Amino acid sequence: MEHQSRWFRLFIHLMALLVALIILMPLAWLFVMSISSNADLSAKPLRWWPNEIDISRYATLFDRSDNSAGQAFMASLFNSIKVAGMATIAAIMVAIPAGWALSRNPRLGWVLGGIIATYMLPPVALSIPLYFILAKFGLLNNVFGLGLVYLSILAPFVTWLLKSGFDPIPKDLERAAAIDGARLDQMLRIVILPLAMPVIATATIFAFLLAWDEFFYALLFTSNQDAKTLTVAIADLAGGRVSDYGLIATAGVIAALPPVLIGILMQRSLISGLTNGGVKG
Amino acid sequence: MTLKLRAALMAATALCGTSAMAETTLNALFMAQAAYSEDDIRAMTASFESAHPDVKINLEFVPYEGLHDKTVLSQGAGGGYDVVLFDVIWPAEYSENGILLDVSDKITEDMKAGILPGAWTTVDYDGKSYGMPWILDTKYLFYNKDMLKQAGIDTPPATWAELQEDAQTIKDAGLVDHPIVWSWAQAEAAICDYTTLLSAFGGDFLKEGAPEFQTGGGLDALHYMVDSFKSGLTNPNSKEFLEEDVRNVFQNGDAAFALNWTYMYNLANTSEESKVAGNVGVVPAPGVEGSSSVSAVNGSMGLGIPSTSENPDLAWDYIVHMTSQPVQDTYAKLSLPIWKSSYEDTAVTAGQEELIDAASKSLAAMYPRPMTPRYQEMSMALQQGIQEALLGMASPEDALQGAADNSGL
Amino acid sequence: MFSERMSPRALLLMLPLVLVMIAVIGWPLVDTIRLSMTDARLAGTSGEFIGADNYTKTVSSRNFQSAFWATMRFSVWSVSIELVLGVLVALLLNQRFYGRTLLRALMILPWALPTVVNATLWRLIYNPEYGALNALLTQIGMLDAYRSWLGEPSSAMTALIVADVWKNFPLVALIALAALQAVPKDIRAAAISDGANAWKRFRYVIMPYLIGPLMVALVLRTIEAFKVFDLIWIMTRGGPANSTRSLSILVYQEAFAFQRVGSGASLALIITLIITVLAVAYLMIMRRFAGEAR
């Protein structure tokens, strides 16, 4: 094994500490802001820990009484869950058969290339017609409409993830099932899906996080509590009466909590999912 | 597949529709910035709802910066908004694109007689009314009474030149690093400050439809801004401030003077979070010797009904309620009423006599920003020009010439 | 043989995806192309055919050129810093130290933080009067007086890049780390016993394993950076003096704020074209690299 001098080991530890600080400090500050009073946040010199912990903003945002700021915020939270949930389920449903077909037919490689190439399209290039199309079907400011639009981002991505996930599953199993007279759907359901469960789970999480994060389409295609998502709600808070920094931070903490918790809990499979894409290309 | 999906969607939307039949829901779009607070608007709305138990009103608050785009974009949505707040600068564009209903024939004689004439200019374009005035607003000069006293200044400045002198005195006395704070971020807020100065210097935005702001008073206004900025008398962060930043700085006692809307008076002078409560003075924005005694920008806003609304009559009832004299008088702390007689009502004026006094002069001097369907574009070009000059990227002459060339007019 | 028998079935299996893609990508894209040759407006007129007018006007406009360079500066700087920092941190994470597992786990946090929250957080940090950055730098003596970060053209762009790098370098680091872990230990050991110095070991032993994944990260990050909207929209809205206005923000303004969807569409397609050219160029370089490595 490599011999490491004490100085080198010290250097490595210092660097690791630095990286940890760089990552943690902004996040910690977001949390501290959310529990600091306004006086502490506008103090000069700035106070890094509040004199008195103030959790009133959490109460404000979770307050669901009629026509309150909390009700509007919670509505956007549920809209985000609905839109991301629907888009994810739909994307997985179209991507499973397609990903399987692509995995088993190398000659369809160009189709896969085309699907991945859609990633190059900036949302602004689709947004104008999508606006007119949604308007025509009465789907503007509608969670179904927004979910449908999110499919344009999720479906290609999930198909590609699942295709790489299906690749290592041996074809022998399918052959054996075919010889036993299994129909196409039976083959998928009984043979492939159980084996591919882990990769499907990972793809589901990725798709959900991607939809949770989306802002541009939501900004354009929603106008009120019926469909407005969390990302737009936060942008509205941050751009409006900006004097209450703590409230903005609190909204940020709440919006970040689901993906961050998923990130921590599912770390291993997420990292392998992320890096697989990178390593395999 | 898509057909099935569409059928499912239609069924789902139909379901939502029937369940909502029991009560009518109106969607209203407001801003979370300046004028009435969110809480005020929620309370005003609640009183309408209690009088109309079968009506439910969904309130939507967006930053001022999102108000125009949200209104325009909701055109495609059948169930978009029923009531929208609009700025004085948009009726031209909205009328050209048919965005708001013409409500001229709904306006009664009582309204016409009772509401201040200046307020009507907010909602009128080309002889038609596109809503009711709701917020009657202009920019005032706020000052910190304590600081002026400590610096030995007896009366607040009456001209823009005096403002510079007083600011210098205060800076020299070491009371505050940067005495004046403005909202000069790349946003409409900067145009409002610029317009105030332009009117003081006797400038014009347009002449026969072509840009005129790059010469005369318009150019003087920008020169004034740049000089004040470079001298350090103006808070250098003004270049990234919106109104709320100005209020924050002023009520933290970090500025002696501030240009801001009506709403800042009571928030800074009475609220618990303000460190300058009780010390806030307000006067009309000053004038320029030889051309004006006071200056003001018309920053009023109105409530209108989008042409896509399915309940225009109910929407009008709601607007009438929101703009009615009793409602306006009850919530007169953050935005002054549009009704003439309110200004003689002691219940309205009590505790804010200084503001009312300033308003009587400022509201009469309100200067309009240009009425053109392409206002958004002109404004954006002008914002860029103002910022270029402030940041020293171009001389005021070149910056305004560039803005004029880029204004699309 | 099996796959050839599958073909008609494969098409059936592909059908749902293809239909969805046509509905939400293909049709809108074709319509964008049509709109880009009209003078259509968002409300009112659906537009007359005006040929390539929008394109010539767009490309020659001052707004387009400044937005193009702003987008380029943002993309080139963020992506390069993310790659360099990512590789350095990956090399670090590949060393042995106390708390390594924990630090590797922390790397997922910035990636998981929603972009909008990231942008809002950094805007608060950069606040000129009450922000944490000014407070921190003055308290540790690196700054004499509070300054404006998002109000100066020079520092505003840098501030945006820092916010973007903070969120995205951990992802590059994780990808690079996975590649490093794929380097067989015996090859490393052999290089060390041959007396190769640290740089040579990196260049000849580690690089060949790293280059493929890094190129993929480079392509993906460049495409994303070029599309940037959320971050800038929330932090500066394109200011000061439009110095941080990206192409995507310009399209938004043109199509939705000024309601000129025709010229907005032409602008959107020009962006798509630029991204495609960049991606294809990268892919060709990648092929060449792959050829050399073998």
User: Which pLDDT score is estimated for A190?
Assistant: 84
* Shortest CA distance from B74: residue in chain C: C43
Q: Number of folded domains in chain C?
A: 1
Amino acid letter at B200? A
Which own/partner contact pairs does B148-156 have at CB distance under 8 Å and 24+ positions apart? B148/B256, B148/B281, B150/B175, B151/B175, B151/B256, B156/B281, B156/B283
CA–CA separation, A31 vs B284, rounded Å? Answer: 42
In chain A, what are the domains? 66-280 (1.10.3720.10)
Among A66, A131, A141, A217, the strongest candidate for a mutation testing the B interface, having the largest count of B CBs within 10 A, is A141
**Chain A to chain B, count of Cβ pairs less than 8 Å apart?**
95
Grade residue C19 by pLDDT with cuts at 50, 70 and 90: very high
Total residue length of chain B: 409
Cis check for the bond before C208: say yes or no (omega within 30 of 0): no
Here the tokens at position C31 are: 């319509």
Asked if the model's pLDDT at residue C22 lies above 90, the reply is yes
User: Which pLDDT score is estimated for B234?
Assistant: 97
Does any CB of chain A come closer than 8 Å to the CB of residue B81?
Answer: yes
Instruction: Tell me B289's DSSP state.
Output: T
Amino acid letter at B402? G
Does any CB of chain B come closer than 8 Å to the CB of residue A133?
Answer: no
Radius of gyration of chain A (CA): 23
- Residue C155 falls inside a structural domain: yes
Residues 6+ apart with CB under 8 A from B99: B71, B72, B75, B93, B306, B307, C43
In tens, the pLDDT along B125-145 reads 999 999 999 999 999 999 999
Grade residue C193 by pLDDT with cuts at 50, 70 and 90: confident
User: Which pLDDT score is estimated for C290?
Assistant: 66
Mean pLDDT in residue range C102-112: 92
CATH number for the domain including C153? 1.10.3720.10
In tens, the pLDDT along A80-133 reads 999 999 999 999 999 999 999 999 888 888 888 888 889 889 999 999 999 989
Among B237, B308, B388, B398, the strongest candidate for a mutation testing the C interface, having the largest count of C CBs within 10 A, is B237
Summary mean pLDDT of chain C:
90
Greater pLDDT, C196 or A167: A167
* Shortest CA distance from C102: residue in chain A: A20
User: Which pLDDT score is estimated for A242?
Assistant: 59
Residue A244: strand, helix, or coil: coil
The ranges assigned to domains in chain B are 2-137+299-359, 140-297+374-406
Helical segments of chain C, H only: 2-21, 27-35, 53-60, 62-93, 100-106, 108-112, 115-126, 132-139, 153-181, 185-193, 198-200, 207-226, 230-235, 247-252, 261-293
- Residue C47 falls inside a structural domain: no
Residues of chain B with Cβ-Cβ distance to A220 below 8 Å are 73
- Residue C40 falls inside a structural domain: no
Q: Which CATH number fits domain B2-137+299-359: 3.20.20.140, 3.40.50.620, 3.40.190.10, 3.40.800.10?
A: 3.40.190.10
**CB–CB of C209/C70 below 8 Å?**
no
- Residue C23 falls inside a structural domain: no
Residues 6+ apart with CB under 8 A from B326: none
Classify domain B140-297+374-406 by CATH architecture: 3-Layer(aba) Sandwich (3.40)
In tens, the pLDDT along A168-212 reads 888 888 888 888 888 878 888 888 888 888 889 989 999 999 999
How far does the CA of residue C285 sit from the closest CA of chain A (Å)?
Answer: 14
Residue B394: strand, helix, or coil: coil
Here the tokens at position B274 are: 């303000």
Tens-digit pLDDT string for chain B (409 aa)? 344 444 444 444 444 444 444 488 899 999 987 789 888 999 999 999 999 999 999 898 888 988 999 998 888 766 679 999 999 999 999 998 889 999 999 999 999 999 998 899 999 999 999 999 999 999 999 999 999 999 999 999 999 999 999 999 999 999 999 999 999 999 999 999 999 999 999 999 999 889 999 999 999 999 999 999 999 999 999 999 999 999 999 999 999 999 999 999 999 998 888 999 999 999 999 999 988 999 999 999 999 999 989 999 999 999 999 999 999 999 999 999 999 999 999 999 988 999 999 999 999 999 999 989 899 999 999 999 999 999 999 999 999 999 999 888 8
B2-137+299-359 against B140-297+374-406: fold identical: yes
Q: Tell me the residue range of the domain where C80 lies.
A: 55-293
In tens, the pLDDT along A144-164 reads 999 999 999 999 999 998 998
